[in-house]
Amino acid sequence: MINADLTALFITLKMAAISTLILLLLGTPLAWWLAKMKSKIKVFFEAVIALPIILPPTVLGFYLLIAFAPQSHLGQLWLQLTGSQLAFSFSAIVIGSVLYSLPFVVQPLQRAFEQLGDHYLEAATMLGAKPLDRFFSIVLPMTKASFITAASLGFAHTVGEFGIVLMIGGNIPDQTRVLSIAIFDHVEAFEYAQAQTLSLSLLIASFVLLTLIYLLNHKKVSR
Amino acid sequence: MTELTINLTNAANQHFSFVIEKKLSAQGITGIFGPSGSGKTTLLRAIAGLNKNVQGEIVFNGKTLLNTSNNIFIEAEQRNIGLVFQNSRLFPHLSVYKNLMYAQKRGKRKTLNIDEIIALTELESLTNKQPNQLSSGEQQRVALARALLAEPQLLLLDEPLSALDQENTSKMLSLLIKVQQQLNIPMLYVSHSLAELQQTANNLMVIAQGKIIDYGNIHQVIHRLNQHHDGISISQQTSLALSIKQHDQEHGLTELELDTQQSLYMPMLSAKKYKTHDLLRCFIFASDISITLQEPCNSSIVNHLQGNITQINNPVSQQSKHSVLLAIKCAQQVFYSQISLMSYNKLKLKQGDNVFIQFKASAIKTLTNSSTLDNTIAKETLC
């Protein structure tokens, strides 16, 4: 593996790790809110969150690029706050990843929260447990498997991303050039050996990760 | 002095208007009885703070828990009220001991010793087990112990025995009485089984269609229910609390003291569990008591008493058009006898008549002694 590829690997892992963390922090309350929502507008929010599953990444990438442009409101605000531009930055690909992988985190969590229901939470309430206490002492341990699934899917999906990262990251070496783009570059340059090394590593790593998730879910079901 | 003021309406209910107004001294065990869907659980969940749809006011021991006109709503976890659910709701990811610790850690007073509660509820051999390894009876005992360890000022019980078999029902009833006596914690006990409440409650509140239709001393309310027919019909019965005089080993009978001169006999109770001078809650179905005009000296039936007919209800209800309910006062105790219309006409009974009532030893029932029970009574519920 050449040096540039190692950098791409490092950037990929950093992007996926940060995105997963943000996804969990953002996705958990969102999933909770949806799970408890009784209003009919719920389907509207569910559809919005599920959009990235079917939308071509280039569509999302295109709109994000417009939103992140230096002359846009968001781009202006970002420039004032951080002093650097948002489009084609590492922050941009993290934001893109979060949006793109949101359904993979929110959906398993929402299902888990819906299945958990109110029974145990009411019991905990009657023993004096306050809302945050109930979340950490009842919800989290009882839906642990779903959190692991959500985090793994979010992480894996972020690692495997191509279109959005290319459009809003711009393939800048040492900053936004991730593995999937590195492979594309190798193929374009006819460096099939390097492309093969990276592809095979990604393939095996993804397969192992997914097997672990299914193993965990299988255990949860049979318990 | 434990006092609970309830003044509630629930506009969200479409089946009937829910209007519960009562100021009650919640000492000992207060039973809440009514048919399914009468609003018992709505009331209990409102007191617990789990039902946010109700409007009105709840004050417990001078502390306002709910006052919708002043926008006061104390959250359930702040009310210091315990609740034992119909299904035990033990946390499946925690062992029995950790379930108990969960409650103790969050209790405000922390005066109870966890090992003492484990001993009181007979859970010593179960502490290391997971909830799914327990029988339903064991699960409810853990649920009770867990609720107690949070040291609530008021314990609510929502049909806690409905999932249990006959043997566990009687075990759990005895345990509830023991716990109430030892810890002196006021309890509100919701059930659709009158037999359960007859065995445990000091006072009884009867709810039908979202309204309180009676409240008072358990025996008096049950006797009034014998004649009540607005939406509630029970197995007509005489409800008693009698002192145990002695256990007659030779004849296999337990002697109960009706007054200083007269005794009643019932199949022998476990002498280990029931001590002399203990008060026994028991009941006799009105259909098990018969009437004679002469003293039945040569009868195999062991219990007979002389009394006066104080009341005649004729006809009794739609279901039993052809029977008559008599109230007969023997010494200071009123007994209820249900006889056929044919016998009633034949004996030409009228109010004030002097008669003898008689019933077999086995007609005296109690739920806490499972051996004296037959299947039908353990789950005796509303018709």
Kindly determine whether residue B102 and residue A130, on different chains, have CB atoms separated by under 8 Å: no
Convert the pLDDT of each residue in B302-345 to its tens digit. 999 999 999 998 664 555 678 899 999 998 899 999 999 899 99
CA gap B280, B231 in Å, rounded:
30
Distance between the two ends of chain B, CA-based, in angstroms?
36
CA distance A214 to chain B (A): 21
Residue pLDDT, tens place only, A67-105? 988 888 888 888 888 888 888 889 999 999 999 999 999
Task: Give the pLDDT confidence score for residue A47 in this predicted structure.
Answer: 94
Q: Tell whether the model's pLDDT for residue A163 goes beyond 50.
A: yes
Residues of B in contact with A137 (CB under 8 A): 102
Say whether A125 and B146 touch across the interface (CB within 8 A). Answer: no
Q: CA of B104: which chain A residue's CA is closest? A: A127
CA–CA min distance B91, chain A (Å): 7
pLDDT digits (tens, 9 = 90+) for A122-160: 999 999 999 999 999 999 999 998 999 999 999 999 988
Q: Is B110 on the interface with A (CB under 8 A)?
A: no
Is the Cβ of B146 closer than 8 Å to some Cβ of chain A? yes
Over 60: is that where the pLDDT of A177 sits? yes
pLDDT computed for residue A171 by the predictor: 83
Are residues B304 and B358 in contact, defined by beta-carbon separation less than 8 angstroms?
A: yes
CB contact under 8 A, A127 and B150: yes
Distance, CA of A108 to CA of A181 (rounded, Å): 28
Interface probe with B: pick from A116, A118, A126, most Cβ of B within 10 Å: A126
Share of chain B above pLDDT 70, in %: 91
Closest Cα partner for B334 from B286, B302, B273?
Answer: B286
Tens-place pLDDT, residues B1-20: 688 998 888 766 666 778 88
**Separation between Cα atoms, residue B326 and residue A211, nearest integer Å:** 75
User: What is the longest distance spanned by two Cα atoms in chain A?
Assistant: 66
CATH of domain B237-378: 2.40.50.100
pLDDT of A146 reads 92
Interface test with B, best of A127, A136, A223 (most B CBs within 10 A): A127
Longest dimension (CA), chain B: 71
How many whole angstroms separate alpha carbon B373 and alpha carbon B376? Answer: 8
**Nearest beta carbon to residue B106 from set A128, A141, A142:** A128
Hey, what are B8's tokens? 């509630």
Whether A127 and B48 lie within 8 Å, measured CB to CB: no
Question: For the purposes of burial, counting CB atoms within 10 Å of the CB of A161, is it exposed (0-12), middle (13-18) or buried (19 or more)?
Answer: buried
Residue B379 pLDDT grade (very low, low, confident, very high; cuts 50, 70, 90) = very low
pLDDT at B314: 66
The residue in chain A having the minimum alpha-carbon distance to the alpha carbon of residue B132 is A223
Pairing of the two strands B187-191 and B29-33:
parallel
Please give the tally of structural domains in chain A.
1
The pLDDT value recorded for residue A220 is 63
Q: Would you call B89 and A141 a contact, using CB atoms and an 8 Å cutoff?
A: no
CA–CA separation, B297 vs B300, rounded Å? 9
For the ranges A120-134, B165-179, B210-224, B358-372, the lowest mean pLDDT is seen at B358-372
- The partner residue sitting opposite A126, judged by closest CB among B48, B87, B91, is B48
Structure token pair of residue B91: 């946390």
Domain residue extents for chain B:
3-225, 237-378
CB contact under 8 A, A119 and B87: yes
Residue B228 and residue B204: Cα distance in Å, rounded?
Answer: 15
Per-residue pLDDT reduced to its tens digit, B96-150:
999 999 999 998 888 899 999 999 999 999 999 999 999 999 999 999 999 999 9
B263-267: strand order across its sheet: B263-267, B253-257, B237-248, B279-285
Find the CATH number of the domain harbouring A62.
1.10.3720.10
**What rounded mean pLDDT belongs to chain B?**
89
Which chain A residues contact residue B147 at CB under 8 A?
126-127
Query: What is the per-residue burial (b if ≥16 Cβ within 10 Å, else e) of B322-334?
Result: ebbbbbbebeebb
CB atoms within 10 A of CB B50: 18
Domain span at residue A68? 3-222
Name, in order, each residue with C-beta under 8 angstroms of B376's C-beta and a sequence gap of 6 or more: none
Min distance B78 CA to chain A CA atoms (Å):
6
A contact set with B (CB within 8 A): 119-120, 122-130, 133, 137-138, 141-142
Mutate to test the interface with A, among B44, B47, B53, B102 (most CBs of A within 10 A): B102
With a threshold of 0.90, tell me whether the complex ipTM lies above it.
no
User: Is residue A190 over pLDDT 50?
Assistant: yes
Residues of chain A above pLDDT 70, percent: 98
* Residue B369 vs residue A82, higher pLDDT: A82
The answer to whether B104 touches B82, Cβ cutoff 8 Å, is no
In CATH, the number for domain B3-225 is 3.40.50.300
> At B366, phi and psi to the nearest 5?
-140, 150
A vs B, Cβ pairs < 8 A, gives 58
Quick one: pLDDT at residue B233?
80
Residue B244 binned pLDDT confidence (cut-offs 50, 70, 90): very high
Mean pLDDT of B207-233: 87
Distance CA B14, CA B351 (A): 45
What are the backbone angles phi and psi of residue B23, rounded to the nearest 5°?
Answer: -115, 115
3-class state of residue A195 by DSSP: helix
